[in-house]
Amino acid sequence: MDTPAGDITGGTAAFFDLDKTIISRSSTLAFVPSFYRYGLITRAQAVRGAVAQLAFRMGGADPQQMERVKEQVTQMCRGWSADRVTEIVTAHLTETIVPIVYAQARGLLDSHRQAGRDVIIVSTAGQEMVGPIGAMLGASGVIATRMRLADGRYTGEMDFYAYGEAKASRIRELAEERGYDLAGCFAYSDSATDLPMLEAVGHPHAVNPDRVLRRVAQERGWPVLAFVSRPRDM
């Protein structure tokens, strides 16, 4: 069994899911208080977001729940300025994201970079959120959901939904573009919905896995990692 950041280098990358893999919560829902503060959402929407965050932390999200969240988020964001979302996310990274980054994840990100690998964050969250988070964490790039825009504002539709098989497809496309040897690449996720992503690389890892992913990882001999601590600073 390989170590999480082993010695394979040269044309390789490490792909990290974001929510409950690098951070302990949903990145999208974590910014609900900030969006409420700046008037993008109502108090009722903020309360529903807080309840959804608690449910996500306690039990994660199955495909049906993810579909509901997808519909709710796309409709809620209709008419928002994409630039404004990026500004709010960037301004509140320190207070919103830094405290919920797992220390073990931070260490792995650093280890892979030191080993000469690209680090790619692969998340169902929107590009305007994942981009600033990735930059803060020193990622080489991100794969994220892209909302459709008209005159710089969200239309309520998606150009690309980074979920399930779509994540794996984009990873393979990126490997082709950058010359990654996927057999030597690493991937990390907490959710069985990311099995296609994990199966796309030679070194998959389950992080705080849900019940289905834990069973699959045990059957296939994949490393199972437990991330529990958070850094005091970054």
| Active centre residues (catalytic) | 17, 19
Structure tokens at 126: 């929107």
* Residues facing 143 on adjacent strands: 122
SS3 191: coil
Pairing mode, if any, of strands 13-17 and 186-189? parallel
| Amino acid, res. 103 | A
How far is it, in rounded angstroms, from Cα 198 to Cα 196?
6
Are the C-beta atoms of 141 and 99 separated by less than 8 Å? no
Pairing mode, if any, of strands 118-126 and 224-225? unpaired
* Residues facing 149 on adjacent strands: 154
From 90, 5, 56, 22, select the one nearest 230 (Cα to Cα): 22
Structure tokens at 131: 């981009």
Are the C-beta atoms of 134 and 146 separated by less than 8 Å? no
How far is it, in rounded angstroms, from Cα 203 to Cα 215?
17
From 185, 127, 193, select the one nearest 158 (Cα to Cα): 127
